[in-house]
Structure 1
Amino acid sequence: MLFRPPLRTGTFKLTALVTAVALALGPIATAQAQQGKGPPVLRDTESEQLLREYTRPVLRAAGLEKQNIQIVIINESAFNAFVADGRRIFVNYGALLQSETPNQIIGVLAHETGHLAGGHLAKLHEQLAQAQTQMIIAMLLGAGAIAAGARGGAGNGLSSAGAAAISAPQSVIMRSLLSYQRQQEENADRAGVKFLTATGQSPKGMYDTFKRFTDESLFAAHGADPYLQSHPMPIDRVQALEVFAHASPYWDKKDDPALQLRHDMMRAKISGFMERQDTVYRRYPLTNTSMPARYARAITTYLHGDLRSAIAQIDGLIQLQPNNPYFYELRGQALLEGGRPVEAIAPLRRAVQLSNSAPLIEMLLGQALVASDNKAYTDEAISILRAAIARESEAPIGFTQLAMAYGRKGDYAQADLASAQAAYLRGDNKTARDLASRAKTRFAIGTPGWVKADDIVSAKPMPGEKNN
């Protein structure tokens, strides 16, 4: 199944967040949220595992280790990261691609952890609620003055005073809110450096990243009103960051070479899947024989239809690292999408084994088993997919493949239920309810399947959707 070019089926693919996010997502993401859709998300076991390892010590230092904070990769090429709901850090794939060292992206993640540790979202909501109340009071007072002016005639000046009473407080309140947000950003910078120091890591990556964006934004910020900025003015922020970052005893500490290689492999994978083929070859020319370069070229080769050459390139990578689960995953994914699902099963079994049964890779194996058209694999596919879904319940592809497996077995009640669950995760509530309603007629009343189907039928419609 192709979600959006240039992605294909497999564990590096697009899905949708079930929970829409708000605050600082910009007009496009906000529009998607209003339509009941979250921002488009990229899923990849290799990248997610590395990001978990990046954030684990930082979260521990922040006292958030037990909060189950998730790192979510957004399908956006711009460099950006943000928090929006107190339990997830969102990071654009562009930030991963543009971060040349682990320390640079770890610094960004530490900054976002500073927002979480400081409870900035909850506090900002309180400030917004307070500001809204103040604005309502100002508008009521202003409206009262306008009405009094209208009764007393234009000459008494109350109408003009009323208009001023409406507009002036709103401007003051807005400036106060923006100032509060700027202070939050400064606090997050300081907290990020504190967490990095506590974990024996350098804050230089954070400083270098913010300084780069300062240099790029100086022209855009020229003449801007510092009191109308939600973030500190770039040069002021970086100067403040430089002072306390340089004080860290780990300023000059370098990334471990093995970690740098894994980071480079992640960037190569993102480039191979997300960038045009000519861009990939400019970034990783044939003269570059490093493992990341070979990884990126193998991916873009299979994506653009040269399966034979891609498999040869992937096999060369496997020879270099015979216990790398993601090379076997890529081989299986390429064969599956190349119309050879039976051949994809063996490398995907190996990938599952080497990855300690990573659920997204299990889903890919389940897909290969279902696509093989061998009914002998049906029960195995159902078992694998159910196990994967139990640990990764927000990936629609798992439920979609499970529905196909149940359909092949003739269990149409479970097939309808799995299809309904997949539709629900995609944000298609109408289809989900229709399928769940049909599933209810196939299950005995009160059974677990009937209850799950009833939950979907009874679910509230997403924002902007009519409950048909």
Structure 2
Amino acid sequence: MRILRYLAATLMLWAAVAMPARAGGLIRDADVEYALGQIAAPVLRAAGLPSSVRVLVIEDDALNAFVADTQHIFLNSGLIMKLGSAEALQYVIAHEAAHISNGHLARRAGNARAARTAAGLGFVLAAAAMASGSPSVATGLAAGTQSAALRQFLAHTRAEESSADVSALRSLVRAGIDPKAALEVHDIFRGQEALSAGRQDPYMRSHPLTRDRMRAAQGFVAGNSGQARKDTAATYWFHRAQGKLSAFLRAPGWTLRRANSSVTKDIALMREAVAYHRTSNLKKSLAAIDSALALRPKDALYVELKGQILLESRQFGAAVQVYRQAAAMAPNEPLILGGLGRAQLAAGDPGAALKVLEQARGRDFRDPRILRDLAVAHAKTGDNGMASLVTAERYALLGRLSDAKLHATRAEGLLPRGSGPWRRAQDVLSATKNLR
């Protein structure tokens, strides 16, 4: 695979430069991902993409968004929290969706396949991290002997970016979204051009000059105005995703001072619940989330947050009950199932946890926490071969290929030869061999 050839030279940099210092990798949160799915749905339809395309969040303050395969759109948390409207976020998603629908990925080095396995997604994230353009990456590339090939793999061409801008604007119009949102996004990046290259955010550095993009967008908007409708649902979910992210990523005091400025009372209460939870005030945290649930009693995602608060406060029995309630309300949500399995493990019931976590993994392999907990459940129920296999897949997802190889080798020796799990171990070993 061409992606493996280009990434081979960069693997030594992975641990240091996968994310900026503050970043924590993928943020897997059922509430945030549902919100982004609701916001993205009309844009993806307008772009002609299937509903299976997922929008995922990376914990990173940089103003960046990107695609690295045909199945995922990645948004940095810093960009989501910086944007001022749902329409602006929809324009960003439409721009990235255009790279998929316009076939740009097929022409870029490294787009060999969609990431349909834990190892595959880990490689995609490794490539995307290198593409982010952080100073540490730039230093590593400058010192490396493969920098020319890597630049070929990582570069966004200006022609493709301009094409994606036009396609994104057209998608907004088809979806009934005001294309003026593009001007809001471009305006955010206008000031980046005055900064030195080392201080610019990667989204600006990899794209045409903002003034040129702004001029083109203004011309399009002038001929396509007055046809949009306000989507109140998208606005609600945008502010809810912003509120949830900021509550967990910013200081609790910052959140508590600003919670009452939320667009709805339930979002304000949710933010307060998270802030109080982060200050270990269980009483106030539960009071706030219960008040939010009083306003939205059928909201499984708020029930899930209550379960998380209880679990992280070591109220294991209560957490299991609340997570069961959330899972009953949203039986197909893998992150909620993962939370239930985690609570059952903490409560000392690995057998029940194993069943639930297998269901969660079957629906979504992208959450390292689910894989970690599933490995623990297998170990506690005496299946060390499966525990090693799932651990190998988790390390592959995280980009830790040497650890993945170690555990896949162990799993290969413990699992029945030729079985499905044994072949999964072979997949991980094959991937690490190709990269080496």
**1:417 aligned onto 2:392:** no
**1:51 aligned onto 2:36:** yes
- Give 1:109's aligned amino acid: I
The aligned runs of 1:437-448 (5 Å cut-off) are 437-448=409-420
**1:117 aligned onto 2:101:** yes
- Distance of 1:310 and 1:20 partners within structure 2: 46
Q: Residue deviations 1:404-454, cap 9 Å, x none?
A: 222222233333333333233233333333333333443333333433334
How far residue 187 of structure 1 moved from its aligned partner, in angstroms, is 2.0
**1:304 aligned onto 2:283:** no
- Distance of 1:61 and 1:287 partners within structure 2: 30
Equivalent of 1:62 in 47, 61, 70: 47
Please report the TM-score for the alignment, with normalisation by the length of structure 1: 0.72
- Distance of 1:293 and 1:378 partners within structure 2: 36
- Distance of 1:357 and 1:203 partners within structure 2: 34
- Distance of 2:283 and 2:241 partners within structure 1: 24
- Give 1:82's aligned amino acid: F
- Where structure 2 has 5 or more consecutive residues not aligned to the other structure, the ranges are 20-24, 111-154, 197-203
- Distance of 1:267 and 1:282 partners within structure 2: 15
The aligned runs of 1:199-218 (5 Å cut-off) are 199-214=175-190, 216-217=191-192
- Distance of 1:263 and 1:122 partners within structure 2: 31
Alignment CA distance shift 1:69-1:21 (3 Å):
farther
The aligned runs of 1:276-355 (5 Å cut-off) are 276-284=251-259, 290-355=265-330
Question: C-alpha root-mean-square deviation of aligned residues, in Å?
Answer: 3.4
8 Å CA contact 1:21–1:33 kept in 2: the answer is: no
- Distance of 1:243 and 1:220 partners within structure 2: 27
SS in structure 1 at match of 2:432: coil
**1:430 aligned onto 2:421:** no
The aligned runs of 1:396-411 (5 Å cut-off) are 396-411=368-383
Please report the TM-score for the alignment, with normalisation by the length of structure 2: 0.77
The residue aligned with 2:116 is none
The residue aligned with 1:174 is none
- Where structure 1 has 5 or more consecutive residues not aligned to the other structure, the ranges are 1-18, 24-29, 127-178, 222-227
**1:378 aligned onto 2:357:** no
Q: Percent identity?
A: 29
The residue aligned with 2:14 is 35
Alignment CA distance shift 1:445-1:272 (3 Å):
same
Equivalent of 2:231 in 242, 255, 272: 255
Q: Residue deviations 1:16-61, cap 9 Å, x none?
A: xxx99999xxxxxx96784278552111122222222332332222
Residues 337-346 or 247-256, more deviating: 247-256
8 Å CA contact 1:84–1:121 kept in 2: the answer is: yes
- Distance of 2:35 and 2:345 partners within structure 1: 30
The residue aligned with 1:79 is 63
How far residue 286 of structure 1 moved from its aligned partner, in angstroms, is 8.9
Which runs of 4 or more aligned residues in structure 1 lie more than 6 Å from their structure 2 counterparts after TM superposition?
19-23, 30-33, 286-289
User: Between Structure 1 and Structure 2, whose CA radius of gyration is higher?
Assistant: 1
How far residue 255 of structure 1 moved from its aligned partner, in angstroms, is 2.8
Alignment CA distance shift 1:240-1:422 (3 Å):
closer
The residue aligned with 2:425 is 453
Q: Residue deviations 1:228-278, cap 9 Å, x none?
A: 97533322321221111232244553232x332222111110011111123
- Distance of 1:419 and 1:230 partners within structure 2: 36
- Distance of 1:180 and 1:310 partners within structure 2: 45
**1:264 aligned onto 2:239:** yes
The aligned runs of 1:109-148 (5 Å cut-off) are 109-123=93-107, 125=109
SS in structure 1 at match of 2:27: strand
How far residue 309 of structure 1 moved from its aligned partner, in angstroms, is 1.7
SS in structure 2 at match of 1:72: strand
- Give 1:41's aligned amino acid: L
Q: How many residues align?
A: 379
SS in structure 1 at match of 2:186: helix
Q: Residue deviations 1:68-111, cap 9 Å, x none?
A: 43322111123221223344322111221122221110011112
The residue aligned with 1:236 is 212
8 Å CA contact 1:21–1:84 kept in 2: the answer is: no
8 Å CA contact 2:173–2:228 kept in 1: the answer is: no
Alignment CA distance shift 1:22-1:288 (3 Å):
farther
- Give 2:310's aligned amino acid: L
- Distance of 1:33 and 1:284 partners within structure 2: 43
The residue aligned with 2:137 is none
Residues 454-463 or 106-115, more deviating: 454-463
The residue aligned with 2:344 is 369
Q: Residue deviations 1:129-180, cap 9 Å, x none?
A: xxxxxxxxxxxxxxxxxxxxxxxxxxxxxxxxxxxxxxxxxxxxxxxxxx99
- Distance of 1:388 and 1:342 partners within structure 2: 20
8 Å CA contact 2:368–2:394 kept in 1: the answer is: yes
- Give 2:26's aligned amino acid: V
